[in-house]
Structure 1
Amino acid sequence: MTALRPEREDSYGGASYASYGSVPPYEPPIDDETVGLRIPAPAVGSPRSASGASSVSSASGVAPGGRAARRKAAKRRHGRHGGAPGASRAASREDGRSGAPLSRVEARRQARARKPGAAVVASRAIGEVFITTGVLMLLFVTYQLWWTNVRAHAQADKETSSLQDDWASGRRAPGEFEPGQGFAILHIPSLDVVVPIAEGISNKKVLDRGMVGHYGEGPLKTAMPDAKTGNFALAGHRNTHGEPFRYINKLEQGDAIVVETQDEYYVYKMSSMLPVTAPSNTSVIDPVPKGSGFTAPGRYITLTTCTPEFTSKYRLIVWGKMVEERPRSKGKPDALVE
């Protein structure tokens, strides 16, 4: 065999390298922390050792000489707390965000920064007032335009049923009626209106309950439909509270207006209209109403309501003339027969 063999073994049982004619190069032990590249440390006391350590420490930012020396160097560079003031504040802020306890001064500063200013507080208060006002206005409008109609329709329907039941049983006789008492039913077929007529024009007792009121009290007292001559005048809401007269402005000449009582049907034909007049113009309900076109006594009907819609500034007037009186025993008039 021509291969080299060790002349002897060392004390550990391994082969001696002397027999190979050369010594293997030095291999540093494997670093427990990293296996990355590193510069071998030069021998202690050599010039390269000092310069190398200085360059390495300056490049890495770590002061030589152990932990105590590094702390002293950090204090000399950055002040008493070991860092620049800006860095210290930034670190405090970072600590505050990370959940670490803040100093009392820093905690107060952050509390003041979070506290809203006077302008912000005032704007919030004004905004809340506007929102609350808007909600209240919306509720009021809903009440006026929807709920009052619901309630008034229910009350008017109940009064209509009560009248018809009393007429059928004979419990209610014609004659004088108390204020607020229902005594007839108004039909306007072209507008699909069926509403009870009560004595008086009180808002609380009559009009706000969805009924039509008869001008039957005081200086505004008008005739009843069974009178031989006269003007049977009625008032009703145009908007809200059942709004029975909302569309009377759409009536045309010849449209039927029927008043149903316990014993009779009184049929009128619409003849004229006054679109706007002052609320104080009571001459429109005279026995021979002014502006109606009637020139002699007769049997008339007058419907009054507010105008424009959703206001009570002016009055809208509709007039009609009786064309038929029909006993209930003969059945409904043609105007009510579908």
Structure 2
Amino acid sequence: MRDHIPVVVQGSGRRVRRVGLAGVLWAAAELTVTVGVVVLLLVVHQVWWTNRQAVAAAQEQVRELESDWARAPDGPEEPTDPVASAPSGDEESVSSPSPKVSATVPARAPAAKPPARDQAYAVLRIPRLGLTVPVAQGIDKRAVLDKGYAGQYPGTARPGEQGNFALAGHRNTHGEPFRYINRLRAGDELIVEVRGQRYTYVVGKVLGETTERDTGVIAPVPRSLVKPDYGYSEPGAYITLTTCTPEYTSKYRLVVWGTLRS
């Protein structure tokens, strides 16, 4: 009988280790791909889907306002006393000081029946941009801006009045109504419609970049506190649009000013 001679296979331990390492690397690669897909879906939802939802809802709100005005054209409807609506703060807006209402004489008839806070009460049209967007009282992110609306800074003038009718809006995501306001030029029209009234402002000046705490840009006579060469020095009826800059960041604010056409 032959003796059984054991055969020793060298290197089997290394192969096992290599197989084990390959499995770990493969699992890590699968996890990385999965995480990447999830992140991509989140980005698509945030950038694309929220835009579609907000734009559709905002346009429906515009149609509802216009329908209401057509049924009951009984005078202007504008926001409540802006002192009652304190800002919640948002990355698209300028940090507001405690609101103070100055004794100014309205350029047009005052409000007849004010709407509730956060309620859309006007429509902003910018022909150059093909933009039509509802305007609501306040700059609360969830209640106003994330709906694709432009929000009026509390404490600022009502449409058509002496003072500064100041608005904030998203530049990216959630309808991004103010995405292209950097394209506005002197002479472009900014049209604000309220029940029974139409106010046409004309773009006069653009401030390409300032800080979020530059409250001078929404003052009754708007002038930058950071860049005093930008702004106005005489009382008048102004409109201000503010949003973030550069795009997809909230580091600075972009500002567009206009004056009411007499």
Using structure 1 for the length normalisation, give the TM-score: 0.60
Aligned residues: 220
Q: Deviations over 1:70-117 (max 9, x none)?
A: xxxxx8xxx557xx988xx9xxxxxxxxxxxxxxxx9xxx9x967864
Tell me the CA shift for residue 244 of structure 1: 0.6
Q: Deviations for 1:9-52, whole angstroms, at most 9, x for unmatched residues?
A: xxxxxxxxxxxxxxxxxxxxxxxxxxxxxxxxxxxxxxxxxxxx
For the Cα contact (< 8 Å) 2:133–2:150, is it kept in 1? yes
2:70 maps to which of 163, 168, 174: 168
2:257 maps to 1:319: yes
- 1:210-244 C-alpha deviation (Å, 9 max, x unpaired): 1110112xxxx1000132x1000000000111111
- In structure 1, the partner of 2:212 is 279
2:160 is paired with a residue whose SS is: coil
Paired residue for 1:196?
134
1:119 corresponds in structure 2 to 21
Return the alpha-carbon distance in structure 2 between the equivalents of residues 181 and 280 of structure 1: 26
Q: If each structure's strand is expressed as a fraction of its own residues, which one has the higher value? A: 2
For structure 2, the residue ranges without an aligned partner over 5 or more in a row are 78-112, 225-229
Aligned to 1:225: 159
Residue number in structure 2 paired with 1:146:
48
CA contact 2:163–2:221 (8 Å) conserved in 1: yes
Distance in 1 of aligned mates of 2:6 and 2:157: 98
Cα deviation for residue 306 of structure 1 reads 0.4
* Alpha-carbon offset, residue 253 of structure 1: 0.6
Tell me the equivalent position of 1:243: 176
* Identity of matched residues, %: 46
Counterpart residue number, 1:213: 151
SS of aligned partner of 1:265: strand
Whole-Å separation in 2 of the counterparts to 1:85 and 1:182 = 88
The whole-number CA distance in structure 2 between the counterparts of 1:200 and 1:268 is 21
Distance 1:114 1:276 in 2: 61
| Residues 201, 239 of structure 2: 8 Å contact kept | yes
| Counterpart residue identity of residue 72, structure 2 | G
CA distance in 1, matches of 2:149, 2:220: 23
- Distance in 2, Cα, partners of 1:80 & 1:311: 79
Separation (CA, whole Å) in 2 of partners of 1:169 and 1:162: 11
Asked if residue 157 in structure 1 is aligned to residue 59 in structure 2, the reply is yes
**CA offset digits 1:48-69 (Å, max 9, x no partner):** xxxxxxxxxxxxxxxxxxxxxx
Which structure has the larger Rg? Answer: 1
Instruction: State the secondary structure of the residue aligned to 2:30.
Output: helix
C-alpha deviations, 1:163-217, integer Å up to 9, x for none?
011111118862322222011100000000001111111111111111110112x
1:261 is aligned to 194
1:132 corresponds in structure 2 to: 34
Q: Which residue of 1 aligns with 2:185?
A: 252
Give the Cα–Cα distance (whole angstroms) in 2 for the partners of residues 293 and 113 of structure 1.
Answer: 74
Shift of 1:157: 1.1
Q: Which consecutive aligned stretches of 4+ in structure 1 deviate over 3 angstroms post-superposition?
A: 112-118
Structure with the higher helix share, 1 or 2: 1
Secondary structure of the structure 2 residue equivalent to 1:187: strand
One-letter code of the match for 2:159?
A: P
Task: Please give the alpha-carbon distance, in whole angstroms, between the structure 2 residues aligned to 1:293 and 1:235.
Answer: 17
